[in-house]
Chains A and B, each alone.
Chain A
């Protein structure tokens, strides 16, 4: 079974401060990990995926297979980063391919 855990429901930081949203996963095979973001009154959208190894809006996330983690980081938070963030996992093959399992979500608030 695949499971995604986001231990923090709420996270508050001040503008310019570093931010880290934690995500841990459980999966027996090789997973694909994603971060999705939902801004206020908008739909869920993909922020980044681990296989892309890219930085989007200043955010990065590294897959740590040893710790089974995929934490989302940004060195200097901005007010417009305030949103709900979901970590998600997809199995790499078989019946799990393409199916996303979401974490509980973390509401990030960046104060001015």
Chain B
């Protein structure tokens, strides 16, 4: 099956700093990538949808200036958490889809962000 990687797998940062998380599709071209947030023992919450070469579409309640998403190529999307605060600590998961009728998303392993 298609493989999606995320880097880093775990990051600890100080409050006020910015953190970048990369999501890569390793063996297919992802026209669409999705970013999710997962709180402990809770479900995945979709944050935003990004299509290659265009601006990301954010879900209601998600601050686009706080969570910057860039999808510069068909294999890479980045999520930057700007001026991170402890409440941003969470598990961030990306998924990638090649689109079309199949409409299947392939998930990355996730990134654990801890803001001190």
Given contacts A98-B32, A98-B97, contact A104 B46 (CB under 8 A): no
Q: Which of B1-54 contact A (CB under 8 A)?
A: 1, 4, 32, 34, 42-46, 49
CA distance A62 to B105 in the complex (A): 21
CA distance A54 to B99 in the complex (A): 21
In the complex, the answer to whether B103 meets A43 with C-beta atoms within 8 Å is no
Asked if A13 is an interface residue, CB under 8 A from chain B, the answer is: no
Q: Which of B74-108 contact A (CB under 8 A)?
A: 93, 95, 97, 99, 103-105, 107-108
CB of B46 to closest CB in A, whole Å: 6
In the complex, the answer to whether B46 meets A101 with C-beta atoms within 8 Å is yes
In the complex, the answer to whether B49 meets A98 with C-beta atoms within 8 Å is yes
CB of A91 to closest CB in B, whole Å: 10
In the complex, the answer to whether B103 meets A104 with C-beta atoms within 8 Å is no
**Cβ 8 A contact of A32, one of B4, B45, B103, B109:** B103
Q: Which of A26-71 contact B (CB under 8 A)?
A: 32, 42-46, 49
CA distance A97 to B57 in the complex (A): 13
Which residues of chain A are near B49, meaning CB under 8 Å?
98-99
Asked if A100 is an interface residue, CB under 8 A from chain B, the answer is: yes
Asked if A25 is an interface residue, CB under 8 A from chain B, the answer is: no
CB of B97 to closest CB in A, whole Å: 6
In the complex, the answer to whether B107 meets A44 with C-beta atoms within 8 Å is yes
In the complex, the answer to whether B99 meets A104 with C-beta atoms within 8 Å is no
In the complex, the answer to whether B109 meets A86 with C-beta atoms within 8 Å is no
In the complex, the answer to whether A98 meets B99 with C-beta atoms within 8 Å is yes
**What are 26 A-B contacts with C-beta separation under 8 Å?**
A32-B103, A42-B109, A43-B4, A43-B108, A43-B109, A44-B93, A44-B95, A44-B107, A49-B104, A86-B43, A86-B44, A90-B103, A98-B32, A98-B97, A98-B99, A98-B105, A99-B34, A99-B46, A100-B34, A100-B95, A101-B46, A102-B43, A102-B45, A103-B43, A104-B42, A104-B43
Q: Which residues of B does A touch, CB under 8 Å? A: 1, 4, 32, 34, 42-46, 49, 57, 93, 95, 97, 99, 103-105, 107-110
Q: Which residues of A does B touch, CB under 8 Å? A: 32, 42-46, 49, 86, 90, 95, 97-105
